[in-house]
Amino acid sequence: MGVSSTFLSAFFFLSCFICLYSDLAIAKHAATGVTRHYKFNIRMQNVTRLCHTKSIITVNGKFPGPRIIAREGDRLVIKVTNHVPNNISIHWHGIRQLRSGWADGPAYITQCPIQMGQSYVYNFTIIGQTGTLWYHAHVSWVRATLYGPIVILPRRNTSYPFVKPYKEVPIIFGEWWKADTEAVINQALRTGAGPNNSDAYTINGLPGPLYNCSSPKETFRLNVRPGKTYLLRLINAALNDELFLKITNHTFTVVDADASYVKPFETDTIFITPGQTSNVLIKTKNLTSNAKFLMAARPYSTAATGTFDNTTVVGVLEYNTNIMSFANISIKSLPLPSLPAINDTSFVANWTNKFHSFGTGNVPQTVQNRFFFTVGLGNDPCPKNQTCQGPNGTKFAASVNNISFTLPTTALLQARYFGKSNNLFSTNFPRYPVNSFNYTGTPPNNTMVSHGTKMVVLPYNTTVELVMQGTTIFGAENHPLHLHGFNFYVVGQGNGNFNSTTDTTTYNLVDPVERNTVGVPSGGWVAVRFRADNPGVWFMHCHIEIHLSWGLRMAWVVMDGRLPNQKLPPPPSDLPKC
């Protein structure tokens, strides 16, 4: 009697069961990829930096967290168990989450947070993405230490559209805080002032030698061989700072942005905002000596108010060197690369214009829904019997179209799916500012924001053009806006106030870059387009964490389509409860 094809297929799948990166994942073959299982135990871990030991929230005791490795088309099943007193939710930043909105992660948007002693299984498939993304906590300021890289390799039997690198290295920029970041944000919200600063920037969790009391083992070192091509997977995980990066006497070739290929271009300086990722190639020199070069990053800021951490983090690119013999004192004698000025807005504008999609993409040529959102800072009145430290004795606030988004007490996606809004939210978010003014000129007399939990509803598969206009009420700032659940095409940007008659003629509708996080220029505007092909509730917010906390956030509702594969499936049985 013959053996059925079903039995043969099952036997083949089982025989191919393998273990990849045994401390992180196991895999089994599926129809289009493999299913990779990870276990994330959220634990407190004592970590020492700059002569200061503190207990921080980590994944599996690691800071930064362990890397996730997958291929395009793979399914990820990640069980997250919370062993800490803080509420936890994890966002898989940049993953499209096509029809898997229950796994997106922002607390009180797509899920209630995971409480202490509870678990939740995030289950999603990587579709149409290759490159570098990342994960991070998405509740309060917990992501200060809870973050890690997501490495997405091409499908099997396919290759990169550029030279195969000799080695791939994730490089994550972050911040080190001696203070408890939850105390920092709570104090800022209570007083209405800007938050205290971090104590250092970090590269892969290490602050480098320019900070006081930094030990030799607290410097990131990249040991390289001459004449080789290295792929650096760059991630900006800092809470509040956009960064410039440079390596002395070396150049980069940028090949990817937010897990989408771009037309390669060369540069000696990188600019990267919180939330953004980029893959860059670096070709090492044909050196025979044990040469060493500094890798340095420092912030970009145009803020007229508040303070920021104006320091430099340094790592070392070293050739043919025994790392253990490399003394810290020798690092300080190396020349620092020349980075742009702290407020170099022209560099940032030119940088953004260098990005173009590798192919023509699917940028919408016609638009069914047009929106114009103002983004920026405002203020709230000081409560009675309280002294506030914001502008003119008020409290700092932030808004989109002058609405400072109020987080609900239960998850919006859950409430909408089951039809139990109970006045939890409204769907009347304005398409345009209610009150127009000179957005980049003299501020209006009334700079107070309004508050609410308002969303925009989009019919399934309709096209959207969104112009985001920066305001200068309390100074011009670059705002890195991140949209969950979608990539969008950056079709235009400019200085000053957007002009719908003249500025639209400059749009790039041929090869605009595809991203999930884009900077609204300081004192300017940016235009993006996307197709609403992913049913669910999707958060959009500034990725500078203090602006997010002040309310620079909103949400989109994308309705189900008519066909079964155009509808959001029911929630998993272990979805956390509030």
In the predicted structure, residue 11 carries a pLDDT above the cut 70? no
In the predicted structure, residue 48 carries a pLDDT above the cut 50? yes
Write out the residue limits of the CATH 2.60.40.420 domain(s) in the chain.
Answer: 34-158, 162-357, 369-566
- For residue 436, give the DSSP letter: -
In the predicted structure, residue 281 carries a pLDDT above the cut 60? yes
Closest CA to 495 of 449, 441, 459: 441
Judge if the upstream peptide bond of residue 64 is cis by omega within 30 degrees of 0. Answer: yes
Q: Which class would CATH give 162-357?
A: mainly beta
In degrees rounded to 5, what are phi and psi of residue 118? Answer: -105, 165
- Binning pLDDT at 50, 70 and 90, where does residue 325 land? very low
- The mean predicted confidence, pLDDT, of the chain is 92
Question: What per-residue confidence (pLDDT) applies to 320?
Answer: 80
Instruction: Give the whole-angstrom CA distance, residue 417 versus residue 420.
Output: 8
Higher pLDDT, 213 or 306: 213
Strand partners, 223: 318
Question: What per-residue confidence (pLDDT) applies to 31?
Answer: 46
- Binning pLDDT at 50, 70 and 90, where does residue 420 land? confident
Residues written for the chain: 578
- Binning pLDDT at 50, 70 and 90, where does residue 308 land? confident
Closest CA to 568 of 416, 342, 359: 416
**Second-level CATH architecture of 369-566:** Sandwich (2.60)
- Rounded (5°) CA angle 452-241-492: 70
What is the side-by-side order of every strand in the sheet holding 369-380? 450-452, 403-405, 395-400, 369-380, 463-470, 524-531, 488-495, 514-515
In the predicted structure, residue 172 carries a pLDDT above the cut 70? yes
Question: What per-residue confidence (pLDDT) applies to 7?
Answer: 35
Asked which of 5-9, 363-367, 423-427 is least confident by mean pLDDT, the reply is 5-9
Instruction: Give the whole-angstrom CA distance, residue 4 versus residue 13.
Output: 14
- The H or E element containing residue 34 is strand 34-49
Predicted structure pTM score: 0.93
> Tens digit of pLDDT for each residue in 24-47?
333 333 347 999 999 999 999 999
Pairing of strands 463-470, 369-380: parallel
Instruction: Give the whole-angstrom CA distance, residue 283 versus residue 164.
Output: 12
- Binning pLDDT at 50, 70 and 90, where does residue 332 land? confident
Instruction: Give the whole-angstrom CA distance, residue 504 versus residue 499.
Output: 8
| CATH number given to 34-158 | 2.60.40.420
Question: What per-residue confidence (pLDDT) applies to 17?
Answer: 33
The residues, any chain, with a CB within 8 Å of residue 344's CB and separated by 6 or more, are: 244, 300
Is 198 in contact with 309 (CB distance < 8 Å)? yes
> Tens digit of pLDDT for each residue in 77-94?
999 999 999 999 999 999
> At residue 570, what is the residue type?
P
- For residue 3, give the DSSP letter: P
Give percent above pLDDT 90 in the chain. 88
3-state SS of 447-490 is CECEEECEEEEECCCCEEEEEEEECCECECCCEEEEECCCCEEE
- Binning pLDDT at 50, 70 and 90, where does residue 288 land? confident
Question: What per-residue confidence (pLDDT) applies to 21?
Answer: 35
Instruction: Give the whole-angstrom CA distance, residue 437 versus residue 219.
Output: 48
The residues, any chain, with a CB within 8 Å of residue 7's CB and separated by 6 or more, are: none
In the predicted structure, residue 3 carries a pLDDT above the cut 70? no
- For residue 550, give the DSSP letter: H
Q: Give Cα 205 distance to the centre of its chain.
A: 17
